[in-house]
């Protein structure tokens, strides 16, 4: 939601080179700017000591780097940390999840969300705008634990495929040699399944993809995910089957488990039928009730128990789809999407 025009964070090397020339610096100063912004993570122009003082002053008159610190932090007993950033008049969330030698940051791509998934707190917040590439990158760069990060998941507030220009711009900065030079294998982007956006994402990015599936039956999925009406799951799967997922890039499916709702043998077999021929994996997720799900007839507010989730994991794995159970994190700090923002508003 920051106005990107005068913000350097999120700019490409070519754009930074043009800006350098605009303020009277040589073109190669654009590469210096990129190094200060993406590698050294500078927060002010004064830090850029290999750029002339006059050049720095000229940059200050027209541009800002675009960095700002989180305004609040919540720390879980399990080490998970939720950060709150203010963007304009809105608040967005990021969640830092340490796990042995792995540290993942879950970032937001929008303030609120349009998708209206019935089990998600973010959907109750309404939609308040797209985050700019600078807003997305700032979450990564400005948390205290930024140097410990090994992975990033675009699974926070918002639907990445609904803000794809800015998502791709942020991914470009993270993975390009002139930027952070991260391997795309360290980044996963999630989607409810907007087909037009998915096709472009797959063809323009090498990052991993995660699809929010949650029910293999179209009628049942529609009851909890309105996106199913215009973007049928079967069409999403047909699109995915046109691409190679057997090598560097991976596609996975997120599957929240509700007791007696989508954890049955019938649902397991339909998952196997639907995903047959697609090299993929499934992540089973325990359901955690929230105010968003109270009164929703199609959600019983009860997660599948451990035994049933283990059965479903083993059944799917034994029939050819690698399936895991995601460990719950940060329950004591409202780590699920939108919950801390909602608590702040109330």
Annotated catalytic residues are 93, 337
Location of structure tokens 């797959």: 202
Strand 102-106 relative to strand 90-99, pairing: antiparallel
Q: Which token pair is 338?
A: 């939108």
HSE on the CB side for 188, CA within 13 Å?
19
Contact 190, 160 (CB under 8 A): yes
Q: How far apart are CA 37 and CA 180, in angstroms?
A: 9
- C-alpha 198/C-alpha 207 separation (Å) is 12
Residue 155 contacts residue 190 (beta carbons within 8 Å): yes
Place of tokens 């190679």: 244
Residue (of 16, 5, 3, 62) closest to 172 by Cα position: 16
Provide the b/e sequence for 125-149 (b: ≥16 CB within 10 Å).
bebbbbbbbbbbbbbbbbbeeeeeb
H-assigned helices in the chain: 13-22, 29-34, 53-62, 133-142, 164-175, 195-204, 218-224, 233-240, 265-275, 306-318, 339-345
SS3 38: helix
Quick one: three-class SS letters along 174-241? HHCCCCCCCCHHHEEEEECCCHHHHHHHHHHCCCEEEEECCCCCHHHHHHHCHHHHCCCHHHHHHHHC
């Amino acid at each position: 939601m920051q106005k990107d025009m005068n913000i350097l964070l999120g700019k490409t090397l070519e754009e930074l080179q043009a800006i350098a020339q605009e303020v009277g610096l040589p073109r190669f100063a654009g590469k210096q700017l990129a190094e200060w912004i993406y590698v050294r993570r500078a927060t002010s122009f004064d830090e850029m000591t290999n750029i002339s003082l006059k050049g720095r002053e000229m940059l200050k008159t027209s541009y800002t780097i675009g960095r700002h610190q989180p305004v609040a932090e919540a720390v879980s007993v399990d080490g998970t940390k939720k950060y709150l950033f203010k963007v304009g008049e809105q608040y967005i969330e990021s969640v830092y999840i340490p796990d042995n030698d792995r540290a993942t940051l879950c970032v937001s791509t929008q303030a609120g969300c349009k998708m209206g998934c019935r089990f998600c707190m973010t959907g109750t917040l309404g939609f308040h705008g797209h985050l700019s590439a600078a807003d997305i990158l700032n979450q990564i760069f400005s948390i205290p634990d930024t140097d410990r990060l090994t992975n990033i998941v675009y699974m926070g507030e918002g639907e990445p495929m609904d803000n794809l220009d800015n998502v791709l711009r942020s991914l470009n900065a993270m993975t390009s040699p002139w930027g952070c030079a991260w391997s795309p294998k360290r980044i996963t982007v999630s989607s409810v399944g907007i087909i037009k956006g998915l096709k472009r994402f797959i063809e323009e990015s090498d990052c991993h993809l995660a699809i929010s599936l949650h029910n293999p039956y179209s009628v049942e999925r529609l009851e909890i995910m309105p996106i199913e009406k215009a973007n049928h799951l079967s069409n999403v799967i047909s699109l995915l089957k046109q691409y190679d997922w057997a090598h560097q890039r991976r596609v996975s499916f997120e599957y929240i488990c509700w007791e007696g709702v989508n954890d049955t043998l019938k649902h397991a077999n339909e998952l196997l039928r639907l995903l047959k021929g697609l090299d993929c994996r499934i992540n089973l997720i325990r359901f955690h009730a929230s105010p968003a799900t109270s009164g929703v007839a199609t959600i019983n507010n009860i997660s599948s128990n451990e035994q049933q989730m283990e059965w479903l994991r083993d059944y799917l794995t034994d029939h050819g789809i690698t399936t895991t159970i995601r460990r719950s994190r940060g329950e004591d700090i409202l780590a699920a999407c939108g919950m801390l923002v909602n608590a702040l508003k109330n």
